[in-house]
Structure formats: structure tokens, C-alpha cells
Structure 1
């Protein structure tokens, strides 16, 4: 990984921190606009970079929100990394609509499933509306920004082989 890519990933993680400060009203205070920079990184740099930004972005969001679930935020960070990786793989295979839909429903419905066993079904049901709204806002912002930033991507890869 070269210095330029590391710097850009640090920038995307910083954008996640900014998004983490914009909270969606929820039962748990870590639902925020912290994922769209990870989706941008995934679209531009691939699954690994997007996963890294997604995991760190969630941990920053949880930290800003007071870590209401404690160590369980590590599970959520891993889920976020996996979802953003799946998004990147599908997005780069030109399955852009499927990538967005799977991210939306994966983050809003599937990712909170372990909390049924850790807490109860009421907690899961209480989280669904805010997770869906937060996921929808994040994916919408990403899909608005990605086409506008492709000029940036061409500049980044100017004279380089993308790989």
C-alpha cells in the first residue's frame, strides 16, 4: 500500500468520524451517517479498503455515541466490514443496484440478528426502523457522491495500473 492510498484511506476514516457525529434517532446512539465514506472507499479502492474504513468508521461512531453496547461494537464493526466488502465486490462487477439493495437490507435486517440471542426480539424490533433509515441515508448519500467523484478516481490512478 502506497502513501497516497494510506492518506486517502485516512481521509475516508476522518469523513466517517464526521458522519458519526450526525446521529439518526435510535434506541442505541450509534446509528449514524458513518458508513457512506466506507461505501465510497469500497467503490473506488475495493473490498479491503472499504472494509477497513467501514470497521473503523463504526468504532468511531460507537465511541462518539458513548459505546452503549460495549465490546459488542466489535461484532458490529466486523459485520460492517463484511457488508462493505460485499458491496465493493458487487459494485465493481457492475451490479450497482444489487450492491445497494443488499447493503441496505443486510445492514438493516441481517446485521442486528445476533442481538436477538444476546438480548431479545424486542431489542431487534426496536432497532429496525432507525437502522433502516440510517442505512437508507448512507447508501443514498454514497450513490449521489460516487458518480460525482469518479473524476477524482481518474486523477488518483493517473499513470498507474489499478489493481
Structure 2
């Protein structure tokens, strides 16, 4: 891994930390604006980079929120990494609207499903509205930022990887 690529990933993880401090009112304290840097990294640098930023970003958000679900946040971080990877694959193949839609639905509806079995359906129903709002906000911010930042990252981006 080149120094440039590592530095850019560190930048997006730092943006994720900042976003993690901006919370969306929710039942649990980890719903925040921590995912949009992962979506940016996914769009500019590919699925692997986006997944790293997404997983680490969620863990930092959970820490800032008090780790209300404890070790279950590791499951959520894996889900986030998978969703961001899927987003990157679809987005970079030209299916931009589908990528955002699947990310929002996957993050807000599908990813919390394990909590139906771990807790109960009422907990799931309580989570979904705030996660849906958080997912929509993260995706909207990413979609606003991507075209504006594209010219900046155009010089360092090359077919899913960073030059250098």
C-alpha cells in the first residue's frame, strides 16, 4: 500500500470520526454522520478502501456514543463494511441511483434485522426510523460532495486504486 493511499484513507477515517460526533437523535447513540466519508472513499478509491473506512467509522461512532450495544457493534461494523463495498461496486459501475438506494435500504432496514433475534421486534421498530434518517443524510451528503470533490481526486484515482 502506497503512502499516498494510506494517507488518503487516514483522511477519510478522520472525516468519519468528525461525522461520528454529529449524532442523529436515536434510541442508541451510534446513529451519526459517520458513513458519508466511507461512501466518498468507496466512490473514489473502490470497495476495499470504502469498507475499511465504513467499518472503522462505525466503531468510532459507537465509542463516541458510549458503545450502547457493546460487542454487537462489531457485527454492525462488518455489515457497514459490506454495505459500503456493495455501494462501491454499484456506484463505480455506473448504477449510482441504485447504489444509494440499496445503501439506504440495506443500512436502515436489513442491517438491523439481527436485533429482532437478539432483542425483540419492538427494538427493531424503534431503531429503523432514526437509522433511516441517518442513512438518508449520509447518502445525501455523499452524493452532494462526490461531484464537487471529483476534480480533486481525479489526479490520484485510477480504476479502483490510488496511483503511487
Q: TM-score, normalised by structure 1?
A: 0.96
Q: Distance in 2 between matches of 1:142 and 1:120?
A: 32
Deviation per residue, 1:57-113 (Å, 9 max, x gap):
000000000100000000000000000000000001000000000000000000000
User: Which residue matches 2:9?
Assistant: 9
Runs of 4+ in 1 over 2 A off after TM superposition: 160-163
User: Which residue matches 1:154?
Assistant: 154
1:155 aligned counterpart, secondary structure: coil
State the number of aligned residues.
161
Q: Distance in 2 between matches of 1:90 and 1:77?
A: 20
Structure 1 residues 9-158: aligned runs within 5 Å = 9-157=9-157
Gaps of 5+ in 2: none
Q: Distance in 2 between matches of 1:152 and 1:6?
A: 17
Q: 1:64 to 1:161 in 2, by over 3 A?
A: closer
Gaps of 5+ in 1: none
Deviation per residue, 1:130-163 (Å, 9 max, x gap):
0000000000000000000111121224xx7764
Please say if residues 115 and 124 of structure 2, whose CA atoms lie closer than 8 Å, have aligned partners that are also in contact. Answer: yes
Q: Distance in 1 between matches of 2:79 and 2:48?
A: 14
